[in-house]
Amino acid sequence: MMQKRKIKIFDTTLRDGTQGEQISLSAEDKLRIAQRLDEFGIHYIEGGWPGSNPKDMLFFQRADQSQFKHSKIVAFGSTRHARYCAEEDPNLRALLEANTPAISIFGKSWVLHVERVLKITPEENLSLIEDSIRFLKSRGKEVIFDAEHYFDGYKDSSEYALQTLLAAETAGADVLVLCDTRGGTITSDLAQIVRETKEKTTVPLGIHAHNDSGLAVANTLIAVEEGCEHIQGTINGYGERCGNANLCSVIPNLQIKYDYQCVPEKNLPQLTTLSNFVAEIANVSQPLNLPFVGKSAFAHKGGIHVNAVMKDARTYEHILPEKVGNSQRVLISDLSGRSNVIYKADELNIDLKKHKEKVPKIVNQLKNLENDGYQFEAAEGSFELLVKKLIGEQRDFFELKGFRVTVEKDESGAPRSEATIRLKVNGITEHTAAEGNGPVNALDKALRKALIKFFPEIKKMHLSDYKVRVLNVKDGTGAKVRVLIDSSADRLLWSTVGVSENIIEASWQALTDSISYYLMQLKNSNK
Amino acid sequence: MMQKRKIKIFDTTLRDGTQGEQISLSAEDKLRIAQRLDEFGIHYIEGGWPGSNPKDMLFFQRADQSQFKHSKIVAFGSTRHARYCAEEDPNLRALLEANTPAISIFGKSWVLHVERVLKITPEENLSLIEDSIRFLKSRGKEVIFDAEHYFDGYKDSSEYALQTLLAAETAGADVLVLCDTRGGTITSDLAQIVRETKEKTTVPLGIHAHNDSGLAVANTLIAVEEGCEHIQGTINGYGERCGNANLCSVIPNLQIKYDYQCVPEKNLPQLTTLSNFVAEIANVSQPLNLPFVGKSAFAHKGGIHVNAVMKDARTYEHILPEKVGNSQRVLISDLSGRSNVIYKADELNIDLKKHKEKVPKIVNQLKNLENDGYQFEAAEGSFELLVKKLIGEQRDFFELKGFRVTVEKDESGAPRSEATIRLKVNGITEHTAAEGNGPVNALDKALRKALIKFFPEIKKMHLSDYKVRVLNVKDGTGAKVRVLIDSSADRLLWSTVGVSENIIEASWQALTDSISYYLMQLKNSNK
C-alpha cells in the first residue's frame, strides 16, 4: 500500500489552455473559472502572461481585488531578454506588476532552442535563468521554474539540460518543472529521465506534459511515481495543438487509484460539474467519451453489458461514478435489447410491467426512428414522451393547424424574421404572430404566445441550448438535420430532438417536444 | 537502438467501436471501412458479433464476397453457453457460419464475473474456454482468445486469471489477448502484470486496452515493451464508454517513436485521411486535438511559437506532420500577432510585402470579427476573401437587392420551403425563385439559379458540409449562431463562415463567401 502523498496541482487552463484552437477566454471568463478552481481546491492558478496582452493584465488586476481561499494566482513569463539586465527587463517588470504571490518563469533547456531561436550561447542562457530567478526571489516571490523542452533537451544533451535546472536551483527556484513541451516523449523514456533528474537535484520536481503522442496523462502519473510532487495541466486537457495533461483525468487517477491527495476529498464529486462549467465558459462542446467526467464515461449500450451492470455495476465500471460526480447511464440504440428499454423506462419512473406486451413495439419504433436519424441517447425528454404516447399514458397538449415563417432581407442589410401560427387547444383556436432574431426564434416566440394563455406555466421554461447536426453531409444545404434542444425550468433540465431535411421542421419537433415534456412533468407533479 | 519488431494490428472499430455512444454503422458502412483498413495494411478486422444481430451477419456475407489484400476478417463471439456442448452452441455455430478465416472468442478471467454474471463455478468456466477453442480449432480456424477483465481478474486472483489463459493455450489458441475491459488499470500495474504473464505462457500475447482512465494508448505501448505482439484498438479510439486504444495514436507511436513495423511504411501517410474517413462514415465530428491526425495536431497559435516554428519546425513539432499525412497550420486569433497573419497570407500566396501598411488594419479587423463570433481558424476561404478585399485585390461578384425565404406547414404535415431572390451582376438584374428541402437549401438553390447564367462554372461546386454552432447558448433560439460551410469542386476544398442571430443570414454570408471564393480562384487560375 502506498502512502498518502500530497501532490500540488498547478492549473494552466487560463494560460496554456487558451493556446488551444477555438479556446478564447475574456478576463471576465478567466475570473469566473479561477473562482471555481479555487472552490475545487486547486493549489496554483496560472492566469496568463501579463507582458503579452492587455486582457491578461486586466485579469491580474481583477484577481488582485478578489479573495481566493485555496489557490495562489500565478503570473507567467519568460526569463530576461539577453539585451536587458533582470532589473530592467520589461517582461520581468510586467510579471512583478501583476502582483501575484507566485511567478512561473520559463527558460530554455534544449541547446537547439538556445542556438536557433534565442541565438545566444548556452552559457548566456544559463545566466539568463539564474539572473531572472534571483531577481524575482529578491522581490519575495515564490518562483516556479518551467524547464521548457526538458525531455527533448535531455535526450540531446543530458548534461546541458541538467545545468539549466541547477542554475535555477542555485538562484533559489522553489520548484523545477520538467516540461515535455512538444509532447513527443514516450512514457518509459520519460520515467527514466525523471528518475535520473531526481537523483541530481534537491528542489521539488514538477511535470508539465503535452498530449501530442496521446500520453500526457500516463506521463504525468509515471512522473509522480518517479517523485514529481507538482503537476501542471488544464481542465479538459485544453491547450496548444493536442492539449495539456487533462487534470480531470490526472486528479481522479491520483486520488482514487493511487490514494494520493490532490484536492480535499470532499471536493472530488465537483469534478464533473467543473469540467462542464469550463467547457461552457469556453463555449466548446464536451467530447462524450472524456474519462471520468464525460457523459459516456459510465454509459452502457450493448445488451449483455447492460444486463451485467444491472447485476453488479463493478462488472463494467472501474470506479463508482458518484466519486467524481458522474452517473451511470443506459443507452438506447439499435444494439439495445429489452434490458435497455426497461432500465431506461424504470429510471424515468415509467412502469412498463403493466405494458409488457407493448415493449417489442416500443423497441421497434425506437429502432425505426434511429434509422431515420433520431437519437434518443441525448434526448431523454423526447424518449419519455414517445414511450408514454405508445403506452397510451400521454396525449397531445395542442393541435397544429399551420404555421408560416418568413425571413426577408433587402439592400439595407439586416434581415427580418416573422412567424405566424394557428393552433387549437381544447377546441379553441388561437391565431397569432411574432417577430424574432431569426426564423426559429420567431417560431418559438409565436408558439409560446399562442400557448401561454392556456398554459401560463410555460413562462418559467427556457431553452438553454440549441444544437444542429447535419446528418447526410454529402447533400450540402439539402441534407437532413438533427436539432437537439436543451431546456430548463427551475432545477429541471431536459433535452428533446427533431429530425428533418428542413431545419424549421426539425426545430419545430424539438420545440414542441420540449414544451410538451414540461407540461407533462407539471401535470404529473400536480397529481 | 531497438530492433524492427513486427506488431500485428487488430482493428475492432466495426465491433467494439460501435459500442460507443453515437456510433452506429450499417453493413454497407462497415464494408467501406473494412476496405480502407485493408488498403492501409491492418492485419485483422473484427467485423461484429454474428450471433447478436442480423446487420452483423449481413456484413460477414458481404465481406465473404469481397477481396481483401492484407486483412483477415474476424468474427467475434463468446465461449459456449454452460447449457450447450460446443458443437451445439448457437453462438459458436453462428461464428462458423460467418465463414471468416479467424475467430475472436472472449472468455471470463475474473472470478467476480464467473460467479455473479455467468453464475457457474470457476472450474466450469475453464472447460467452457477449453471446449470452445478446441472446437473452433478443429474446424480449422485461427483462434484469438480475448481474456475479458484479465487485469482486474489478475489483481483479484492471479492464479485463476492465469488458469484461464492456460486453458486457452492447451486448447490451441493462437493468441492470448489480455483485456483491460473496464479501462481502470494504471500503466505501471499493467506493465508488471504483462511481464509476469509473459513468463508463464508460451503463446503470443495481445493487448486490448480501454480508455476509462485516459491511459489506453500508454498501456498499449507499455504492453508491447513488455512483449505483447498483437494490438487491439479502434480508429479514433471509438468504443464503449471512454473508448478503446486509439490506433491512430498507437500505430504512429510504435512505428515512428519505437521504429517497430505495424503497417507498410509507405502507407503511414494515409493515417490522417483514414481517421477523417471513418469519422465521416460514422458521422461524428472529429475532435480538433486528436494526437497525430487532428486538425490542431500541428497548429500554432501563440505569436512566439509561430515565430520559432518559422525558424525551425522541430522547436514545437515532435514529428514531421507529413509522416502521418497531416500538415502544419498557423492559427489566426486574438493571441495572433503580425507573424501569424503574414505566415497565413504567405501560405495562401497573398503577397503582403506590397501592403505592409495595411497589416495592422487587417489584424485589427480580424480581432473585431473574432470578437463578434467569427472564426477564421476553420474558414480559410473567408479569411482569404477578407484579406484580399482589405488590400483592394478583390471586389464583389454580385450585388444583392433582396431575398425572401418562406417555410409553411399545415395540417397535412410536410413543410414547404421557398426562396425568392433579386440580385444584380454587371448592371443586369436577375429576379428568380426556387423551392428546397429546407429554407437554407431553397436560398442556396435560388442564389445558384440567379448566378448560373453569369457564372456557369458554379455548376461544378458542391457544399460538402454545413455546420451550425450556437454561440451564446443562454439565449436559446434567439442566440447568435455561427455557420461553417465546407465546399468542394474537383480537388479544391474550402471553408467559409457566417455569423448572425438569424440562421438564414449567417448561412447567407457563408454561402456567398463560398461562391465568391470559388469564382476568385477560377479568375486567378485563368490569369
3-state SS assignment for residue B86:
helix
Task: Tell me the mean pLDDT in the region B330-354.
Answer: 73
Give the end-to-end CA distance of chain A in Å, rounded to a whole number: 54
Q: Which residue has the cell 481561499?
A: A69
Which residues of B are less than 8 Å from A467 in CB distance?
Answer: 468, 470
Cα separation values, A247 from A42, A176, A288, B197, Å: 10, 19, 17, 32
The pLDDT, as a whole number, for residue A368 is 77
Count of CA atoms in the C-beta half-sphere (13 A) of A520: 24
Q: Is the pLDDT of residue B189 over 60?
A: yes
CB contact under 8 A, B187 and A237: no
Phi-psi region of A329 (alpha: psi -120 to 50; beta: other; left: phi over 0): beta
Task: Tell me the mean pLDDT in the region B346-350.
Answer: 78
For every residue of A258-309, DSSP letters joined together read S--BSS-GGGGGGHHHHHHHHHHHHT-PPPTT-TTTSTTTTEE-SHHHHHHH
CB contact under 8 A, B464 and A476: yes
Which residues of B are less than 8 Å from A237 in CB distance?
Answer: 289
B413: Cβ contacts below 8 Å, ≥ 6 apart: none
CB pairs under 8 A between A and B: 388
Count of CA atoms in the C-beta half-sphere (13 A) of B404: 9
The pLDDT, as a whole number, for residue A1 is 44
A436 vs B20, B213, B478: nearest CB: B478
pTM over 0.80: no
Nearest to A408 by CA among B87, B419, B348, B456: B419
- pLDDT digits over B245-280, tens only? 999 999 999 999 998 999 999 999 999 999 988 987
> CB contact, 8 Å: A246 with chain B?
yes
**Cβ-contact B252, B271 below 8 angstroms:** yes
CB contact under 8 A, A222 and B295: no
Give the end-to-end CA distance of chain B in Å, rounded to a whole number: 54
Q: Is B302 or B179 the better-scoring residue by pLDDT?
A: B179
CA pair distance A342, A350, nearest whole angstrom: 9
The residue in chain A having the minimum alpha-carbon distance to the alpha carbon of residue B153 is A315
Main-chain phi, psi angles of A4, to 5 degrees: -80, 80
CA pair distance A80, A113, nearest whole angstrom: 15
H/E stretch holding B500 reads strand B492-500
**B205-209/A44-48 β-pairing:** unpaired
Q: Is the pLDDT of residue A57 over 60?
A: yes
- pLDDT digits over A380-389, tens only? 889 899 999 8
CA pair distance A438, A515, nearest whole angstrom: 20
CB contact under 8 A, A476 and B470: no
CA pair distance B107, B177, nearest whole angstrom: 10
- pLDDT digits over A231-263, tens only? 999 999 999 999 999 999 999 999 999 989 999
CB contact under 8 A, A237 and B289: yes
Q: What is the fold, at CATH topology level, of the domain defined by B399-525?
A: Double Stranded RNA Binding Domain (3.30.160)
Burial class (CB in 10 A: 0-12, 13-18, 19+), B489: middle
> CB contact, 8 Å: A272 with chain B?
no
Residues 416..455 of B with a Cβ closer than 8 Å to A: which? 417, 436-441, 443-444
The pLDDT, as a whole number, for residue B120 is 95
* Residue B144 bridge partners (DSSP): B104, B175
The pLDDT, as a whole number, for residue A105 is 97
CB contact under 8 A, A410 and B402: yes
**Cβ-contact A466, B482 below 8 angstroms:** no
The pLDDT, as a whole number, for residue B3 is 56
Q: What are the extents of the domains in chain B?
A: 8-282, 399-525
Which residues of A are less than 8 Å from B438 in CB distance?
Answer: 477-478, 481, 500-505
> CB contact, 8 Å: B334 with chain A?
yes
How far apart are the CA of A459 and the nearest CA of chain B, in angstroms?
14
Which residues of A are less than 8 Å from B300 in CB distance?
Answer: 240-241
Task: Tell me the mean pLDDT in the region A461-465.
Answer: 79
Q: Is the pLDDT of residue A377 over 80?
A: no
A21 vs B187, B246, B377: nearest CB: B377
How far apart are the CA of B303 and the nearest CA of chain A, in angstroms?
9
- pLDDT digits over A268-285, tens only? 999 999 998 898 778 777
Cell of B440: 437554407
**Cβ-contact B249, B291 below 8 angstroms:** yes
| pLDDT cut 90: percent of chain B above it | 66
The pLDDT, as a whole number, for residue A472 is 63
CB atoms within 10 A of CB B88: 11
Residues 290..319 of B with a Cβ closer than 8 Å to A: which? 290-292, 294-303, 305, 307-308, 311-312, 314-319
> CB contact, 8 Å: B333 with chain A?
yes
Q: Is B55 or B207 the better-scoring residue by pLDDT?
A: B207
**A102-108/A72-78 β-pairing:** parallel
3-state SS assignment for residue A109:
coil
Q: Is B333 or A266 the better-scoring residue by pLDDT?
A: A266
| DSSP 8-state symbol, A191 | H
CB contact under 8 A, B481 and A438: yes
A504: Cβ contacts below 8 Å, ≥ 6 apart: A405, A439, A440, A443, B407, B409, B415, B417, B438, B439
User: Residue B476 — very low, low, confident or very high, per pLDDT cuts 50/70/90?
Assistant: low
CA pair distance A339, B422, nearest whole angstrom: 57
The residue in chain A having the minimum alpha-carbon distance to the alpha carbon of residue B507 is A477
- Rounded to the nearest 5 degrees, what angle is found at the Cα of A19, between the Cα atoms of A17 and A25? 65
Q: Is the pLDDT of residue B1 over 50?
A: no
**Cβ-contact B164, B147 below 8 angstroms:** yes
> CB contact, 8 Å: A395 with chain B?
no
Which residues of B are less than 8 Å from A311 in CB distance?
Answer: 116-117
**B369, B437, B447: best mutation site toward chain A, by most A Cβ within 10 Å?**
B437
Residues 107..146 of B with a Cβ closer than 8 Å to A: which? 112-113, 116-117
How far apart are the CA of B260 and the nearest CA of chain A, in angstroms?
14
CB contact under 8 A, A438 and B300: no
Main-chain phi, psi angles of A351, to 5 degrees: -90, 100
Task: Tell me the mean pLDDT in the region A436-442.
Answer: 89
CB contact under 8 A, A474 and B466: no
**Cβ-contact B362, B356 below 8 angstroms:** no
CA pair distance A496, A378, nearest whole angstrom: 8
Among A243-257, A303-317, B155-169, the range scoring the smallest mean pLDDT is: A303-317
CA pair distance A228, A204, nearest whole angstrom: 7
CB atoms within 10 A of CB A144: 29
Cα separation values, A42 from A34, A35, A36, A74, A248, Å: 9, 10, 9, 12, 12
| DSSP 8-state symbol, B289 | T
- Rounded to the nearest 5 degrees, what angle is found at the Cα of A321, between the Cα atoms of A316 and A325? 165
Q: Is A229 or B485 the better-scoring residue by pLDDT?
A: A229
- pLDDT digits over A69-84, tens only? 999 999 999 999 999 9
Task: Tell me the mean pLDDT in the region B353-380.
Answer: 79
Task: Tell me the mean pLDDT in the region A471-494.
Answer: 75
SS3 content of chain A, % helix, strand, coil (to 5): 45, 20, 30
Q: Is A226 or A303 the better-scoring residue by pLDDT?
A: A226
**Cβ-contact A480, B390 below 8 angstroms:** no
The pLDDT, as a whole number, for residue A469 is 72
Q: Is the pLDDT of residue A52 over 90?
A: no
H/E stretch holding B485 reads strand B481-489
**Cβ-contact A47, A14 below 8 angstroms:** yes
**A315, A412, A471: best mutation site toward chain B, by most B Cβ within 10 Å?**
A315
A92: Cβ contacts below 8 Å, ≥ 6 apart: A77, A80, A86, A132, A135, A136
CB contact under 8 A, A182 and B291: no
Which residues of A are less than 8 Å from B117 in CB distance?
Answer: 307-308, 311-312, 315
- pLDDT digits over A320-365, tens only? 999 999 988 887 665 556 777 777 787 777 888 788 888 888 887 8
**A318, A398, A469: best mutation site toward chain B, by most B Cβ within 10 Å?**
A318
Cell of A259: 490514494
Q: Is the dihedral of CA B12, B16, B18, B23 positive or negative?
A: negative
Count of CA atoms in the C-beta half-sphere (13 A) of B288: 22
CB contact under 8 A, A214 and B116: no
Residues 79..98 of B with a Cβ closer than 8 Å to A: which? none
- pLDDT digits over A152-181, tens only? 999 999 999 999 999 999 999 999 999 999
CB contact under 8 A, B438 and A503: yes
Q: What is the fold, at CATH topology level, of the domain defined by A8-282?
A: TIM Barrel (3.20.20)
Main-chain phi, psi angles of A326, to 5 degrees: -105, 180
Q: Which residue has the cell 541565438?
A: A119
Edge to edge, the sheet with strand A481-489 lists A492-500, A481-489, A462-470, B462-470, B481-489, B492-500
Cα-only R_g, chain B = 28
Regarding an ipTM greater than 0.85, the answer is no
